[in-house]
Amino acid sequence: MMPDMSFGNYYEATRRVDVQTAQLDGDIRVDAAIIGGGITGVSAALHLAERGYKVALLEAEGIGWGASGRNGGQALPGFGAGQAVIKSLVGKPAAKRLWDMSIEAVDLLHSQIDRFAIPCDPVRGYLHAAVKPRQVRELHEIQAEMAALGTPTGPILEGAALRERLASPRYLAALHDPVAGHIHPLNYTLGLARAAQAAGAALYTQTRVTNVIPGETIQIHTAQGVVRAAFLLAAGGAYLGDLFRPIAGYIMPVGTYIMATRPRADVREMIPGNEAVADLNFVLDYFRRSADDRMLFGGRVSYSTLPPPSLQASMLARAVRVFPQLAGADVEYLWGGNVDISRNRAPHFGRLADNILFAQGFSGHGVALTGLAGKLAAEAIAGQAERFDMFAAIPHARFPGGRGLRVPALLLATSYFRLRDML
């Protein structure tokens, strides 16, 4: 991820929640420690503190600095793998329970926003958009699958009905999902962090963990001191690096990028219902209106995590392909970040020891699910591990080779899907 792109991060420029944190200063002892100040980490801190645990969260940068403060803000049920893959991995009954928990994750997000009065512009409504006839058939399959799961959708929109909801010539049809939606993800993350502090959790920023020594009392080493804890949650996602080598090979950091135009009066006409939108391509375009009437448009990926060349021009070209009205638009913000992709695109939860938990591999579906992941980790630490263990039971495989081979292996594996997008 490139944290200092010349155009900057729109979410940072419009943050509305103030969270006062400090570096760790000296050695401390806590009941539970958390590595990572994204949504998973601050959610776990909140739920543990509300259970009466003494909690310390350690973040190498600032709260929400990573994926939680850089993503597209689209809050979805389900998983990056798709429900059919989840079913093949764990069986139909467990897949249904996992789906239900993903719905709970979206509901939890909105209930936390209401409970803590977090100013993050929540909106319900999402359009799954089809670019080609094959994908129109997929929309009908998605609609039937969601109905079978007990989550009815809205209608599949085509023709004039589609143009009334999405003023773009690119799409053949779209399925309306009333459960999913969008938020300002950085303000949401900061709002949860503020709530965690109010519940008694200590949040330490600019405090990078350099080593973890397992044991009945875990030792978490930083340059500023040592944290000793009975439990530890590793929630650093794509930014955890090789701190925990046994799980590092199960995820690949993949760069993804977003641009924001200047405010425009015609943006409301492009998406009159204010839904979040994404197409069904493997390398997809995703976009939405911001609360101040900008077009936020995401796409492009980088498997090296370095920004692609001519990024601004290519991002604007993708946006104009969807909305010709944006030709010549002024791009005011352009930023990127890494998502943690697992090999099968399913979330990767588990334990490195009885008292060391991890949650990673959200694969582009983390805005809602990370909040539930933090809650489930808190439940597991408190001795109620059934729901966390349902996620931990999803089988996973490493990316082949070390870091040097993971990137070319992933490029090779995704070439088929890139070609399929063109058909």
Assign residue 218 the CATH number of its domain.
3.50.50.60
Among 321, 324, 73, which Cα is nearest to 187's?
Answer: 73
Residue 4 lies in a domain: no
User: Does residue 406 lie in a domain region?
Assistant: no
Domain carrying residue 368:
10-396
Instruction: Tell me if 142 is assigned to some domain.
Output: yes
From CA 268, how far away is CA 252, in angstroms rounded? Answer: 36
Is 422 within the bounds of a domain? no
Domain membership flag for residue 2 = no
State the total domains in the chain.
1
d(CA 248, CA 270): 41
pLDDT at residue 4 in the model: 40
Distance CA 280, CA 286 (A): 10
At 404, the pLDDT band (50, 70, 90 cuts) reads low
Structure confidence by residue, pLDDT tens digits, 298-336 = 988 887 767 788 899 999 999 999 999 999 999 999 999
Could you tell me what percent of the chain has a pLDDT over 90? Answer: 88
Count helices and strands in the chain by DSSP H and E runs: 13, 17
Q: For residue 413, is pLDDT > 60?
A: no
72 is a domain residue:
yes
For residue 367 the two structure tokens come to 């805005």
Give the closest residue to 372 by CA, choosing from 148, 170, 99: 99
The Cα 228–Cα 48 span in angstroms is: 16
pLDDT confidence band for 410 (50 / 70 / 90):
low
Residues 114-141 pLDDT 10s = 999 999 999 999 999 999 999 999 999 9
In this structure, are residues 363 and 339 in contact, taking their beta carbons and an 8 Å threshold?
yes
- pLDDT of 266 higher than 50: yes
In a domain, residue 116? The reply is yes
Least confident window among 20-24, 60-64, 105-109, 408-412: 408-412
Q: Which amino acid makes up residue 293?
A: D
In a domain? residue 1: no
To the nearest whole percent, how much of the chain has pLDDT over 70? 93
Chain-wide mean pLDDT for the chain?
Answer: 93
What the block records as the tokens of 170 is 């690119």
Can you give the pLDDT at residue 308?
80
Q: What is the mean pLDDT of residues 188-205?
A: 98
Dmax over CA atoms of the chain, in Å, equals 64
Is the pLDDT reported for residue 408 higher than 90? no
